[in-house]
Amino acid sequence: MIRPINKNSSPWIIFLGFSSLLGLMVFVIYISLSEMNTTISKMEALVKITNAKISTAHSMRDHVRLRANTLNQMYLTDDHFERLELFPLLAHHAANFRADRDLLLRYEMDSDEEDLLEKIRLASIKGHSINNLAAEILLTHDAADTEVKHAQREAYFARQKVLNHLDELVEMQNSNAQYALDTHIRVNEKTHSLIITISTLALFLGITISIFAIRETTRKNKEIYFQAHHDALTHLPNRKEFEYRLQLAVKTAQEKNLEHALCFLDLDQFKIINDTCGHNAGDQLLICISELIHEKIRRHDTLGRLGGDEFGILMERCSLEKALEISEGIVNLVRNYKFKWENRTFHIGVSIGLVPVNRDTKNVTCLMSEADVACYAAKDMGRNRVHVHELNDEHVKKIHQELSWVADIETSLKDQRFKLYVQPITAVSSRNTDTMFEVLLRLKDDEGNIISPGEYIPAAERFNLMRAVDVWVVHEVIKKIEALHQSGQAKIPRIFVNLSANSITDQSFCDYVLDLLNTHKIPECSICFEITETAAIKNMEQAISFITQLKQAHCLFALDDFGSGMSSFTYLKNLPVDYLKIDGSIVNKMDKNKADQAMVAAINQIGRIMNIETIAEHVENAAILAGLNEIGVTYGQGYYIGRPFSIDELMPDSSENSRYSRP
């Protein structure tokens, strides 16, 4: 068996080398970014404060100029009243100047800035007094012209001194900003030099590591190829690789008229071990079985894992007789193998589908399908055996038919080709009692012919499609009941719906039904779900849980096909059902067989004691109906009572009013 190449220390060397390189680069980047961030943060803070100081200084300059303009307007006008109107503006501009000065004082200042601000403060105080004096002189009627001009000149010089100090402050702030920029440039140059130095070292280290990595490329490529084409657990060729080799074998068979053989293997009872002991046990079993089978086949044969517990064997240049001999040897080998896990011993089996590969083989897809069908046939015939695919084989035909039904069922669900019929269930002792109905599922083929459920239900159950079918049926039935209820019909008939074993053990299906009942408002107890006796007994805990949850949503339950085994009475007391449907194989001969009549009577008696109503199936004639009436069975169902008809005829606008009345 091919095993993956052993790993050595080279990945670690490459990892450590590149880690060191990465660490070095991260270190460079960290130091560089730290320096730059620190500098940038300081510069941003300095620039922000500087801009604020410059803006405030300019605002102070504007207020000084506005005060000067106001004083000049007072000087230029000869109207005394206009001077009086302008005079308050001097105080307003002075107040704004003081507000900006106070704002400037709140910023952090160095000693030079503090000295300059002190000069501005003193000059502004002096200038304020001089400006106010000049204004007062202008407001005096008898002021001499020389006195006015002198006051204006003094005010000008005082203002100019304040403006000069403010210009000096702005220039000081510009110098600080330039200093921050110069500092940033120096840090960038230092960082750039550091990056160049360390990057050179990193380049040298990277070249060294790359040379080492190139030498490992071939070995790593082989390992990667192996991982891509082999199963991770068993290390056997995976499905992709197996089908590739099979394609080559088909080509040689067609071109060179060679004979090969293909085996499709499916382990029997594997799921029991997997579910009982866990996936670790299941994985170990697959490894052991793959090694066991590998020892049995020839050296040049290919054993591959196709998925789950499925394997394939390609026997090249092998006759069908030899392949059958090897396959039967594998069956015996696996049958006698004892798998031990945690002090427990398990026995498993294997079913094998065998297909010859020759010049008549069409392609790999057909070949795999035929092998799969042959394996299904081996399982259907009792497991633990080899079945050779032959077109005229009845088992092969049966499996092909079931696989065909799988596709038809999926298509029918999609294309709405399923149709619902109902059959009446009426009281045995009275013709006037309200009638109930059991829903029957029918399928229309491409020609519109009705197909019996007995033809496609086994395939649906085998390939786990019944849940999808049940979902569709329940949804349609609830919609019909809702439509009847909304139509205003006084009495809504009770509808019986069959459920498969897969559905009653699926919590998601239960949740789906509960959601439907919440979405579609239907009368309480208008739907009754039928579960078979076999399904209920086989999955007792799940069945009880399923019934309990839906009964809380006002659904009823019937136990179908009851009485096929008298052991049913043992389990009945644990199932909270409302009806017992007596198996039709007992009912339809009770008029001629005293034993069957006694069994029906016994079932009815048990039901009466447990307060469960009984329904007899397959009531085919008046004698059976009379016998049921004598025994005291509550309800009857069968062709004598009423034949199935479309559920649409229950709708209020249907012209059929007595379709389901008993003759």
540-555 tens-digit pLDDT: 888 889 999 999 999 9
183-220: pLDDT as tens digits? 777 777 777 777 777 777 777 777 777 777 777 777 77
pLDDT at 617 over 90: yes
Do residues 490 and 374 both lie within one domain? no
385 and 419: one domain? no
Judge contact between 25 and 202, C-beta under 8 A. yes
What CA–CA distance (Å, rounded) separates 530 from 31?
76
Question: Is residue 97 included in any domain, yes or no?
Answer: yes
Question: 297-309 burial, b if ≥16 CB within 10 A, otherwise e?
Answer: beeebbbbbbeeb
Regarding beta strands 349-357 and 386-388, do their DSSP bridges make them parallel or antiparallel, or are they unpaired?
parallel
Q: Give the whole-angstrom CA distance, residue 425 versus residue 660.
A: 9
For tokens 């620190």, name the residue: 38
pLDDT at 37: 72
Neighbours of 180 (CB within 10 A): 18
Kindly provide the residue ranges of all beta strands, DSSP E only, lying in 253-301, ordered along the sequence: 260-268
- Whether residue 231 lies inside any domain: the answer is no
Residue that is last in its domain, among 191, 208, 225: 208
Same domain, 277 and 412: no
Confidence category of residue 459, pLDDT binned at 50, 70, 90: low
Report the distance separating Cα 119 and Cα 114, nearest Å. 9
- Cβ atoms within 10 Å of 480's Cβ, excluding its own: 20
Alpha helices in 418-491 (DSSP H): 453-462, 466-486
478 exposed, middle or buried (CB, 10 Å; 0-12, 13-18, 19+)? buried
Give how far the C-alpha of residue 411 lies from the chain's centroid of Cα atoms, to the nearest Å.
Answer: 25
The CA angle 483-484-490, to the nearest 5 degrees, is: 145
Residues 375, 434 within the same domain = no
Q: Number of structural domains, the chain?
A: 3
Residue 265 CB-density burial (10 A; 0-12 exposed, 13-18 middle, 19+ buried): buried
Residues 105 and 167 in one domain: yes
* pLDDT at site 317: 93
Write down the pTM of the prediction: 0.52
- At 9, list the tokens: 């220390």
Residue 82 is assigned to a structural domain of this protein: yes
Residue that is written with structure tokens 């090897």 in the block: 326
Q: Structural domain of residue 284, as residue ranges?
A: 239-390
What integer is the mean pLDDT of 331-350? 90
List 508's β-bridge partners, or say none. none
Nearest alpha carbon to residue 599 among 635, 557, 570, 631: 631
Q: What is the mean pLDDT of residues 292-299?
A: 91
Q: Give me the percent of the chain exceeding a pLDDT of 90.
A: 33
Span 358-393, pLDDT tens digits: 988 888 988 988 888 888 888 878 888 898 887 556
* Residue 435 and residue 342 share a domain: no
Strand order in the sheet with 260-268: 302-307, 310-315, 260-268, 349-357, 386-388
Query: What value does the CA radius of gyration of the chain take, rounded to a whole number of Å?
Result: 49
Tell the residue number behind the tokens 């239907």, with chain if given: 522
Q: What digits encode the pLDDT tens for the residues 245-295?
A: 999 999 999 999 999 999 999 998 888 888 788 889 999 999 999 999 998
The residue among 390, 425, 455 that closes a domain is 390
Last residue of a domain, one of 208, 229, 254: 208
392 CB contacts (<8 Å, ≥6 apart)? none
Q: Which pLDDT band holds residue 440 (cuts at 50, 70, 90)?
A: very high
Q: Which two tokens stand for residue 656?
A: 């059929």
In whole angstroms, what is the distance from residue 67 CA to residue 94 CA?
7
What is residue 237's DSSP assignment?
B
We report the CATH number of the domain holding residue 569 as 3.20.20.450
> Is residue 531 over pLDDT 50?
yes
Residue 532 placed within a domain: yes
Does residue 234 belong to any structural domain of this protein? Answer: no
Residues 243 and 180 grouped into a single domain:
no
Phi, then psi, of 63 in degrees rounded to 5: -70, -35
Alpha carbons 591 and 623: distance in angstroms, whole number: 6
CATH of the domain at 252: 3.30.70.270
193 and 297 inside one domain: no
**Is residue 395, in this structure, part of any structural domain at all?**
no
Other residues' Cβ atoms within 10 Å of the Cβ of residue 131 = 26
Same domain, 513 and 635: yes
What phi and psi, each to the nearest 5 degrees, are found at residue 552? -65, -20
* Per-residue pLDDT tens over the stretch 49-90: 777 778 887 787 787 778 778 777 777 777 777 877 777 887
Secondary structure (DSSP) of 359-419: TT---HHHHHHHHHHHHHHHHHTTSSSEEE--TT-HHHHHHHHHHHHHHHHHHHHHHT-EE
Return d(Cα 598, Cα 590) in angstroms, integer: 8
Model confidence at 3, pLDDT cuts 50, 70, 90, reads: very low
pLDDT for 224 equals 80
CA dist., res. 553 & res. 459, Å (int): 32
pLDDT for residue 4: 47
Per the CB < 8 A criterion, the answer to whether 616 and 627 are in contact is no
Tell me the CB-side half-sphere exposure of residue 243, using CA atoms within 13 A: 13
- What is the rounded distance in angstroms from the CA atom of residue 44 to the CA atom of residue 24? 29
* 638 located within any domain: yes
CA distance 196 to 28: 10
C-alpha dihedral over 9, 13, 16, 17, to 10 degrees?
A: -170
